[in-house]
Amino acid sequence: MKYYIIAGEASGDLHGANLMKALYQEDPEAEIRFWGGDLMQQVGGTLVKHYRDLAFMGFAEVLFNLKTILGNIKICKNDIMAFQPEVIIFIDYPGFNMRIAQWAKKLGFKTHYYISPQIWAWKENRIKAIKRDIDKMFVILPFEKTFYEDKHHFPVAFVGHPLIDAIHNQKDSTSANFRTEHHLSDKPIIALLPGSRKQEITKMLAGMLSVVDDFPDYQFVIAGAPSQDFSFYEPFITQQNIHFVANKTYALLQNATAALVTSGTATLETALFKVPEVVCYKGNWISYQIAKRIITLKYISLVNLIMDEEVVTELIQDDFNPKNIKRELSKILEPAHRTALVQKYDALEHKLGGRGASQKTAHLIVSDLKQS
């Protein structure tokens, strides 16, 4: 059978790759075309467009790049029509994917959504479009099932979180020679995860690195995003205590003592590796002003949202400054604080369900296609 998958970000590439592996197991004759990244490309299938060409963050940035976005939508529609898949699988990335879903549903394509748009955070009125345009929804956060079924009477399948599999697989395969391979010293590591898009990396790294001199007994290691070249990060590596590791975020987290993490999926990844973290975010001023008037959530990190309490500290916009970063990083380096935090992380993992999210989702998708 033919599968068309659309993932528009680094996290979607990871989950898309694991889903593709599971689809090939469930359906060895599967033909897959996809929008994604390097991880999906390594699994097989045909890459149509890389997510690095799609990533525009914030309201203002989307507006400035509207022509490119509309052009990509046209390319996607034409490619789907030429391929004629049995199912289109959308992975998060709602601004783009919901437009394609509306068009595809009208033409009779089967539409499955893996990893729900965060309509529980903002744009809740998207539920109307989801009910109209999506045949099957597979959710990965426990509170999403309640949100969809109890509040909006839309049946969904809770499959567990795919990060649990991805992280357990990484723990089984991480090289014991990580420090040697990357020319790191014996000092404890503070991992810096500044995001995947150039705009956010530039904003976040400047702040994260502002406290390097306050922690001389540690080494700061930047996690390079797969979508960016080393030349982009090079200007930030200004002293001996700052290092860079490309495309090895999970190996870095497994070796880290603490982390400064830009809000997003990385906050959850860091917690599942049981690394004490401070969550950081600073965006475009206009985009932030709009967002804070629309989004009514108490927290921005997935860790806190899932646990419904402030497990990890969030430094947002003006609070993301050297004084606060130094204070909060010092806290999570204290043994007592670290122990309490890891206990919360254990509860978080339990709440997310067991392993096998990708396999469950693939099985449900293939079963649905066979039945129809």
pLDDT in tens, 122-163: 789 999 999 999 999 999 998 899 999 999 999 999 999 998
Q: What does the pLDDT read at residue 288?
A: 56
Residue 355's pLDDT band (boundaries 50, 70, 90)? confident
Q: What does the pLDDT read at residue 335?
A: 95
SS3 167: helix
Higher pLDDT: 354 or 343? It is 343
Which residues, including other chains, have CB under 8 Å from residue 338's CB and lie 6 or more apart?
Answer: 276, 332
Could you report the per-residue pLDDT of 259-270, keeping only the tens digit for each? 999 988 899 999
Three-point CA angle 362, 365, 366, nearest 5°: 85
Domain 166-351 is in which class? alpha beta
Q: Across the strands, what pairs with 316?
A: 281
Which residues, including other chains, have CB under 8 Å from residue 207's CB and lie 6 or more apart?
Answer: 280, 282, 320, 321, 322, 325
* Cα–Cα distance list, 119 to 34, 63, 92, 292, 297 (Å): 24, 21, 11, 15, 11
DSSP string, 311-350: -S-EEEGGG-SHHHHHHHHHHHTSHHHHHHHHHHHHHHHH
Which residues, including other chains, have CB under 8 Å from residue 354's CB and lie 6 or more apart?
Answer: 160, 164
Q: Across the strands, what pairs with 281?
A: 316
Which residues, including other chains, have CB under 8 Å from residue 372's CB and lie 6 or more apart?
Answer: 110
Task: With beta carbons less than 8 A apart as the criterion, state whether 349 and 171 touch.
Answer: no
Which residues, including other chains, have CB under 8 Å from residue 204's CB and lie 6 or more apart?
Answer: 194, 195, 262, 280, 281, 282
For the segment 36-50, the average pLDDT, to the nearest whole number, is: 95
SS3 371: helix
200: exposed, middle or buried (Cβ count in 10 Å: 0-12, 13-18, 19+): buried
Q: What does the pLDDT read at residue 89?
A: 98
For the segment 44-73, the average pLDDT, to the nearest whole number, is: 72
Mean pLDDT (the chain) is: 90
Q: What does the pLDDT read at residue 237?
A: 94
Q: pTM (2 decimals)?
A: 0.78
| CATH number at 2-160+356-371 | 3.40.50.2000
**Where are the CATH 3.40.50.2000 domain residues in the chain?**
2-160+356-371, 166-351
Answer yes or no: is pLDDT of 338 > 90.
yes
